[in-house]
Chain A
Amino acid sequence: MTPTPAPSNRAVASLRRRLLSWILLPLAALIGVNAWVGYGNAVQAANEAYDRSLYLAARTLAEELAWRDGRVQLDVMKAAGYLFENHTGSRLFYKVTTPGGQWLAGVAALPDAPVRAQSAVKYFALVQFDDGVYLNQPVRLAQLTHVMEDAGLADPLIKITVAETMEARQQLIQHILWDTLGSQGLLLLAAAGLVIWGVQRGIRPLEAFRQQLASKADDDFSPIQPPDLPRELRPLIETLNSYLDRLGRLIDIRKRFLDNAAHQLRTPLTALKTQLALAQRNTEPEQAQTLLTAARQTTEDAVRLTEQLLAMTRVEHAREMHSPQTVDLVALARRVTQEHLVRAHQLGDDLGLEAQVVQCEVQGVDLLLHEALSNLIDNAIHHGPVGTHITVRVGHGWFEVEDDGPGIAPEHQAHVFERFYRAAPSGVTGSGLGLAIVKEIASQHGAVVSVRSPLRHGRGTAIRMRWPAV
């Protein structure tokens, strides 16, 4: 097996990235919204505070206005503390006009604040605020309507407009902005750090698990036990461990099968080499003939064994390869019996067919059922003495092969379907695979195999493959 750590690496990295992006991106957005709202509120509060002080400045101015010498005059000295020595360094300008706009005092060039239905500061009914431009500078305007009763004016109402340059406000707003950005940025950084740290810690068992898996030897199928495994990952590890367990057992079976197969194949080949070497050495034609006959028999055994090993492999992989079709067991039995007839006859055995039904259809793979029945007949021919009577019998939903050979002792019967299990005495060659193949095919077809032995007079075996559902 080739180790493929790359994909798992990527998987871990992408999980981390995904967690981080899922947590950090919304968090950053939330902090951003929070900062924006907080900044807006702070700016509004600052504006209100400045507007209020501008209003107070206008009020103070109004109170220090006096009607003297037929015109409006301001006691500048009194107002100066309020007006022009302002706490900020912004500059203040004023003008006083009649409601009609006629100049009375101050800087005539100051723009008017338009009268709007909604004032910026709602509770000052008599004051209007606005932004304007004076001397090419943005200014904040407050316009107060004041009653000047002792004046010799037709209308006692006058308008007092105060303008303030924006430096102080902008400084404050900037200050608030930097403050907000700084604190929220720090918060974001701290949150990111915590999240990264948490995710890293959370993923660490996964990484440890990956390393453990990657460092496993090819033939090591022991379960993996990562330390401090999160509860969410435990089912995954358990599934993987149970898979490893199954895989290990399967490979173990394969390995034993291969070991056995190698041993089984070497045996006849060794015998063959010996027989042929002896035949070469023996110049007596008769002895040579005997050895060649033996060599031919050994070859037959090797062929039979090879066929069975191949059949076993084929049967094991058959599940994926074949789709079931309708198979007539009677026709199948006739065909398979026919194939063994000549050989059985030459060996002096009596092979016959006994169909108890005209037809019996099952769902199955013809090739495999053929293999199974063929193995049963072959087994009977192989293990019975010369002159064995073998009957292939087909009934409703079953077929069986019965012989009057030596039979299978009860203690062997439970094991005859195991691979490489050999019930026969050591003189009889055999692979111990024939019945294992039958069993495998039966289980793939949902059929059951059963043995009856001895049948009569302490001899005989019948092995039946039966479809319970039919």
Chain B
Amino acid sequence: MTPRILLVEDTPDIALWLGTALRQGGMQVEFATDGHAADRCLQPGHGFDAVLLDLQLPGQDGLSVLQALRGRGDAVPVLVLTARASVPDRVLGLNMGADDYLPKPFDLSELEARLQVLLRRHGRAKTTALRWGPLEMQPENGTAQLHGQVLALTQREAAALRVLLSSPQRTVSKEQLHTEVFVGDDTGLDAVEVLIYRLRKKLESSAASQGRVPEVVITTFRGMGYMLTSPVGTP
């Protein structure tokens, strides 16, 4: 099923090119160029899977569109795009029911990634699988594949991988991994390091067995924690 996106943006240039990019990414895009049109498009039964909402709009501003939408009890995911940068706006946007925001100018790839996260979180993505490049995981049973090849993971390894996959582009601290993986266990933090070491080995050997260079690695960031990265540019 193709996700249906409403793009609310009054600058024609941005609307046109953003729409083109999203269509190329396999989405169905509809446009609203002012607040009133957006409000009309978002009446009950609209059927959109996500809304990209610019805040500065002619007619009715983006925040009041959002307010009206949430006032109707509509939970469609909303990603706010804004050229305003001050914090109160950000807080307001999120308090008023925006699911995420991106300050302009944003990177196209970042927008696509955030949109995917929103769609997945709301169960509207093509698949509910967690994905990072060629690495895929079914969260319900904990099976993971690299380039389609199933990884033989222990329960704890799978749990750790799931935590890493659920936090794309953000580090997961050792403490956080310990809390989430070793629930109710009194092992020390060193156990996390051992676990990550084993997970790395399994990813490496899986790639090697398929005759590929590693495209997914778990990188340690000093003082910050672990994050899935790819050594050959973003997936």
Residues of A within 8 A of B (CB): 303, 310, 314, 334, 337-338, 341-342, 345-346, 350-355, 366-367, 391-392
Query: Majority SS of interface residues in chain B?
Result: loop
Complex: chain A residue closest to B219, CB-CB: A345
The answer to whether A345 and B229 touch across the interface, beta carbons within 8 angstroms, is yes
User: Which 3 pairs, one residue from A and one from B, show the smallest C-beta to C-beta distance?
Assistant: A352-B222, A353-B223, A352-B223
Q: Are A351's CB and B221's CB within 8 A?
A: yes
Q: Which residues of A contact B170 (CB under 8 A)?
A: 338
Q: Verify B222–A350 contact, CB threshold 8 A.
A: yes
Asked whether B105 lies within 8 Å of A353 as measured between CB atoms, the reply is no
Q: A342-B169, A346-B233, A346-B234 are in contact. Are A334 and B224 (CB under 8 A)?
A: yes
Q: Would you give 7 A-B contacts (Cβ < 8 Å), ordered by A?
A: A314-B86, A337-B224, A338-B170, A341-B227, A346-B234, A351-B222, A353-B222
Closest partner residue, chain B, to A350 (CB atom): B222
Task: Give the CA-CA distance A423 to B222 in the complex, in Å.
Answer: 29
Q: A337-B223, A346-B234 are in contact. List 4 more A-B contacts (CB 8 A).
A: A337-B224, A342-B227, A342-B229, A345-B219
Where the two chains meet, the residues of B that have a C-beta atom closer than 8 Å to any C-beta of A are 85-87, 105, 169-171, 219, 221-224, 227, 229, 233-234
Q: Are A354's CB and B223's CB within 8 A?
A: yes
B224 near A341 with CB under 8 A, answer yes
Q: Are A338 and B85 in contact (CB under 8 A)?
A: no
Chain A residues whose C-beta falls within 8 Å of the C-beta of B169 in the assembled complex: 342
Establish whether residues A367 and B224, one from each chain, have CB atoms under 8 Å apart when the complex forms: no
Q: In the complex, A345 Cα to B171 Cα: how many Å?
A: 12
CB distance from A126 to the nearest CB of B (A): 104
B233 cross-chain contacts in A, Cβ below 8 A: 346
Q: Indicate whether A367 sits within 8 Å of B87 (C-beta atoms), given known contacts A338-B171, A346-B234.
A: yes
Which residues of A sit under 8 angstroms from B105, Cβ to Cβ?
303
Cβ contacts under 8 Å, A391 to chain B: 222
A-side contacts of B171, CB under 8 Å: 338, 341
- How long is the Cα–Cα vector from A25 to B76 in the complex, in angstroms? 79
Which B residues touch A392, using CB under 8 A?
223
Q: Which residues of A contact B219 (CB under 8 A)?
A: 345
A314 to B233 Cα, complex, angstroms = 34
- In angstroms, Cα B105 to Cα A310, docked, is 13
The chain B residue with its CB closest to the CB of A391 is B222
Kindly state the separation between the CA atoms of A303 and B83 in the bound complex, as whole angstroms: 12
Rounded to whole Å, the gap between the CB of B34 and the closest CB of chain A is 26
Whole-angstrom CA separation of A354 from B229 in the bound complex: 21
Contacts of A355 in B (CB 8 A): 223
A355 and B222 alpha carbons, distance in the complex (Å): 10
Q: Tell me the smallest distance from the CB of A139 to a CB of chain B, in Å.
A: 97
Docked CA distance A310–B219 (Å): 34
Contact yes or no, B224 A338, CB < 8 A: yes
For A345, list chain B residues within 8 Å (CB). 219, 221, 229
Task: Please determine whether B234 and A352 come into contact, CB atoms closer than 8 angstroms.
Answer: no
Q: How far is the CA of A303 from the CA of B105 in the complex (A)?
A: 7
Q: In the complex, are the beta carbons of B222 and A367 less than 8 A apart? A: no
- What chain A residues lie within 8 Å of B85 (beta carbons)? 310, 314
CB-defined contacts of A346 to chain B, threshold 8 Å: 233-234
Q: Shortest distance in angstroms between B4's beta carbon and chain A's nearest beta carbon?
A: 29
Query: In the complex, A351 Cα to B86 Cα: how many Å?
Result: 26
CA distance in complex: A303, B87 (Å)? 19
- Which residues from B are CB-within-8-Å of A351? 221-222
Q: How far is the CA of A370 from the CA of B145 in the complex (A)?
A: 39
Q: Is the CB of A352 within 8 A of B87?
A: no
Separation in Å of the A98 CB from the closest CB of chain B? 113
Cβ distance A80 to chain B, nearest Cβ, rounded Å: 112
Task: Tell me the smallest distance from the CB of A299 to a CB of chain B, in Å.
Answer: 8
**Shortest distance in angstroms between B224's beta carbon and chain A's nearest beta carbon?**
5
Q: Could you tell me the distance in whole angstroms from the C-beta of A394 to the nearest C-beta in chain B? A: 10
> Are the CB atoms of A341 and B234 closer together than 8 Å?
no
Cross-chain contact B222 with A341 (CB below 8 angstroms): no
- Shortest Cβ distance from B110 into A: residue: A342
Closest Cβ of chain A to B68, distance in Å, is: 29
Bound Cα distance A45, B170 (Å): 111
Q: Which B residues touch A310, using CB under 8 A? A: 85
Contacts of A366 in B (CB 8 A): 87
CA distance A27 to B169 in the complex (A): 87
B223 in contact with A341 (CB, 8 Å): no
Closest beta carbon of chain B to A256's beta carbon, Å: 25
Q: Which of A314, A341, A367 contacts B221 (CB 8 A)?
A: A341
Minimum CB–CB distance from B18 to chain A (whole Å) comes to 15
- Distance in angstroms between the alpha carbons of A372 and B91 in the assembled complex: 21
> In the bound complex, how far is the Cα of B222 from the Cα of A354, in angstroms?
7
**Chain B residue, CB-CB nearest to A306:** B105
Q: Which of B224, B227, B234 contacts A353 (CB 8 A)?
A: B224
Most buried by A among B170, B219, B223: B223
- With both chains docked as a complex, state the minimum distance between the C-beta of A291 and any C-beta of chain B, in angstroms: 18
Q: Which residues of B contact A350 (CB under 8 A)?
A: 222
A303 to B110, CA, bound (A): 16
Q: B86, A352: Cβ atoms under 8 Å?
A: no
Report the nearest A residue to B223, measured CB to CB: A353
How many angstroms between the C-alpha atoms of A187 and B197 in the bound complex?
Answer: 111
Q: Considering only CB atoms, which chain A residue lies closest to B85 in the complex?
A: A310
Distance between Cα atoms of A314 and B84 in the complex (Å): 12
A345 vs B222: C-alpha distance in the bound complex, in angstroms? 12
Nearest CB in chain B to that of A343: its residue: B107
The distance in angstroms between the C-alpha atoms of A353 and B224, with both chains bound, is: 6
Report the minimum CB–CB distance from A367 to chain B (whole Å): 5
